[in-house]
Amino acid sequence: MLPVRFSRRPLFLLASLAMLVGCGDADRGGVAAGETGGTLIIAMPAEPTTLLPPVSDANQDAAVINAIFDRLAEIGPTLETFGDRGFRPRLASSWAWANDSLSIAFTIDSLARWHDGQPVEAADVRYTFRVYTSDSLAVNNRAMLGNIDSVSVRDARTAVFWFKRRTPQQFQEATYFMYILPSHLLASIPMKDLPASPFARKPVGSGRFRFANWEAGQRVEIVADTANPRGRAMLDRVIWSIAADFGAATVKLFAGEADFFEYIRPGDLGQIARTPSLRLVDNRALQYLFLGFNFRDPRNPSQPHPLFADAAVRRALHMAVDRAGIVRNVFDSLGAVALGPAPRALIPDTTAFTQLPHDPAHARALLDSAGWRDSDGDGIREREGRRLSFEMLVPSSSAGRRSLTVLLQEQFRAVGAEAKPLVLEVNTFSTRSDTGQFDTYMGGWSVVPGLGGTRQTWTSKGSGNVGRYRNPAFDALVDSALTSFAPAASHRYWARAFQQIVDDAPAIWLVDQRAPVALHKRFIVPPLRPDGWYADLADWRVDPAQRIDRDRIGLAAASR
């Protein structure tokens, strides 16, 4: 899981490579014909940092990497992560489980080729695992690979993953978190030098698009790989047009210089509706926002927090908030009330656990019973000389979160609590939240399919659990849910785990975000996958009847 911040994508990692040796077909100068052809220009409010998948952690890298590289198997549109039934072959044409389920043998598609023409082999899979688990690199997804003991090569086309223990998520661990890298191009480079290798900016992959060009600060271009065994991409080329910020990116979109923009804000909806060439495409992004409480005293972490160690206070503040009202106010149709520490699209049964109600009267009674009373008549409660007053950390980069804090402030005041928003530059926000220097913080996570990330973000030992919420019962329920091989039993455990954390209220679950994208009307696209709109980019196409000039260039090589 990762926090919702534009430039970061959590447990995703991608790959990279070094020299581009073009496939001959790309230079043939074919023109758009039939269903294929066309140019998609994407406005992007930041430049990619790297196209080497293991060390990429930025959202703006993910789409490019996903188009150039392949995983062994690809998750399906239902995002089912239980076993392998929700996955489709990609680089691996098939796989076989060992009788004890502690190993999976993947057979590489015999037709699979790197963009330089070399065959994809099992050794590439083994090498990729070594890179992703290397101590010489800061790999974001490494924590997700902890259950994989090793990868061995049975023969040139068979790679075997060996696991430490059986879990329902084994297959996802082996496939979802790694893009396969070409060992024949990278193995000779010391691991620590990979991020600095030419490959990181000129990658060679095996996907249906191949890398074409990266002009620093200006654009990244990929083109259809016409020799790909899974079929060429429908579009001829995709260009990411790099903008300095969100404002500059929207200028490109509305000036007609771009066809697509991912980061739509409520304020942009009206202008998109008024632009005849654009339409909104629904995108169920796996993101949620919350106000997290700190269970430890920020001045003395060995001590419990003077306010929020008390569950009654947390529950009272939760009940003071009209979540439906503030979500409607801030996000309009782009959000729904969050139900817990996961987007509802991933919760097996959203009716199996109950929410804390919006009940200010009950909230006041809870605070009264906890000893918090307004004895001096200033509207703010006190107890033993301490006011019920706290800071809310919020990153300046998020307009939505800033608006939420203003509304929360008013609703807390109505029950006698004083909340002081502290808007911080994102580096400062990140530093203070990581180190526990806060009372409450306006957090956000963008999660990957499955609920495995819950362990990382909300259990006692989770590195992302910066509020230090601890409840052994919740930890046990999450463990049981993640290790149960019977789907029905797993769902029951999840329901109990969600009920437990809702009752404990380590955070106020605020918004389950939708993230529709703006797209030029001439494009025909399959439903966008919630974990990444770009997952099926190779199947996007242009309506032949609506082609514009830039769709007619064909695959002629640019004279650079």
Partner 1 sequence: MSSRLLARTWQCALVILSAATLAFLCLHLAPGDPASALGESVPPEVKARMRALYGFDEPLGTQYLRWLGALLRGDLGWSIQQQRPVSAVLRDALPNTLMLIVPAFVLSVLGGLWIGAWQGARAGSRRDRVTSTLLLVIYSIPEFWLAMALLLVFARTWHLLPATGVTSELYAYLSPGERLLDRLRHLVLPVASVASIGIATFARYQRASMQETVGLPFVRTAEASGLGRRRVLRNAWRASLLPVITLGGILLPSYLAGVVFVEQIFNWPGLGYALLRAISARDYAVVAACVVLGSTLTALGAWLAEWLRERADPRLRVAPGLSAGHTAAQVAERIA
Q: Which residues inside 436-455 make contact with partner 1, applying CB under 8 A? A: 443-446
Q: Does 393 bind partner 1 (CB under 8 A)?
A: no
**Distance, CA of 451 to CA of 384 (rounded, Å):** 42
According to CB under 8 A, which residues from 183 to 202 bind partner 1?
Answer: 192, 195-196, 200-201
Q: Does 516 bind partner 1 (CB under 8 A)?
A: no
Do 207 and 69 form a contact (C-beta atoms < 8 A)? yes
**Distance, CA of 477 to CA of 419 (rounded, Å):** 33
Q: Does 136 bind partner 1 (CB under 8 A)?
A: yes
Give the nearer residue to partner 1 in terms of CB position, either 380 or 553.
553
- Report the DSSP pairing between strands 39-44 and 260-261: parallel
Smallest distance from partner 1 to CB 247, Å: 9
**Distance, CA of 235 to CA of 486 (rounded, Å):** 42
Q: Does 271 bind partner 1 (CB under 8 A)?
A: no
In this structure, what DSSP letter does residue 194 have?
G
Give the nearer residue to partner 1 in terms of CB position, either 525 or 553.
553
In this structure, what DSSP letter does residue 487 have?
H
Smallest distance from partner 1 to CB 113, Å: 26
According to CB under 8 A, which residues from 400 to 429 bind partner 1?
Answer: 425-429
Give the nearer residue to partner 1 in terms of CB position, either 46 or 356.
46
Q: Does 371 bind partner 1 (CB under 8 A)?
A: no
Smallest distance from partner 1 to CB 194, Å: 10
In this structure, what DSSP letter does residue 139 have?
-
Do 60 and 44 form a contact (C-beta atoms < 8 A)? yes
Q: Does 309 bind partner 1 (CB under 8 A)?
A: no
Do 71 and 175 form a contact (C-beta atoms < 8 A)? yes
Q: Does 107 bind partner 1 (CB under 8 A)?
A: no
Smallest distance from partner 1 to CB 341, Å: 14
One of 126, 130, 142, 468 touching partner 1 (CB under 8 A): 142
One of 434, 485, 486, 521 touching partner 1 (CB under 8 A): 434
One of 150, 277, 355, 430 touching partner 1 (CB under 8 A): 430
Give the nearer residue to partner 1 in terms of CB position, either 60 or 228.
60
Smallest distance from partner 1 to CB 459, Å: 13
Q: Which stretch binds partner 1 (CB under 8 A): 92-100, 148-156, 159-167, 255-263?
A: 255-263
Q: Is 261 exposed, middle or buried (0-12, 13-18, 19+ CB in 10 A)?
A: buried
Give the nearer residue to partner 1 in terms of CB position, either 295 or 445.
445
Phi-psi bin for 436: left (phi > 0), alpha (psi -120 to 50), beta? Answer: left
Q: Does 57 bind partner 1 (CB under 8 A)?
A: yes
One of 32, 243, 316, 495 touching partner 1 (CB under 8 A): 243
- Report the DSSP pairing between strands 541-542 and 507-513: unpaired
According to CB under 8 A, which residues from 461 to 490 bind partner 1?
Answer: 463-464, 466
Positive or negative torsion for Cα 315, 317, 320, 321: negative
Q: Give the angle 77-82-84 at the CA atoms, nearest 5°.
A: 75
Map residue 144 onto helix, strand or coil: helix
Q: Does 8 bind partner 1 (CB under 8 A)?
A: yes
Give the nearer residue to partner 1 in terms of CB position, either 280 or 426.
426
Smallest distance from partner 1 to CB 55, Å: 7
Q: Does 286 bind partner 1 (CB under 8 A)?
A: no
**# chain residues binding partner 1, by CB under 8 A:** 71
Map residue 4 onto helix, strand or coil: coil
Q: Does 303 bind partner 1 (CB under 8 A)?
A: no
Q: What are phi and psi of 395, to 5 degrees?
A: -75, 135
- Written as six digits, the tokens of 223 are 């083109």
**Burial readout 487-516 (b: 16 or more C-beta within 10 A, e: otherwise):** eeebbbbbbbbbbbbbebbbbbbbbbbbbb
Alpha helices in 202-334 (DSSP H): 246-254, 269-274, 311-320, 323-331
Q: Does 138 bind partner 1 (CB under 8 A)?
A: yes
Give the nearer residue to partner 1 in terms of CB position, either 1 or 112.
1
According to CB under 8 A, which residues from 10 to 39 bind partner 1?
Answer: 10, 39
Smallest distance from partner 1 to CB 213, Å: 7
Q: Does 349 bind partner 1 (CB under 8 A)?
A: no
Give the nearer residue to partner 1 in terms of CB position, either 78 or 463.
463
Which residues, at least 6 apart from 209, have a Cβ–Cβ distance to it below 8 Å? 67, 68, 222, 223, 224, 225, 233, 238, 537, 538
Q: How many Å is the maximal CA-CA distance in the chain?
A: 82
What is the pattern of x (binds partner 1, CB under 8 A) and - over residues 527-556? -----------------------x--x--x
Do 197 and 189 form a contact (C-beta atoms < 8 A)? yes
**Distance, CA of 117 to CA of 426 (rounded, Å):** 44
According to CB under 8 A, which residues from 204 to 233 bind partner 1?
Answer: 213, 216-219
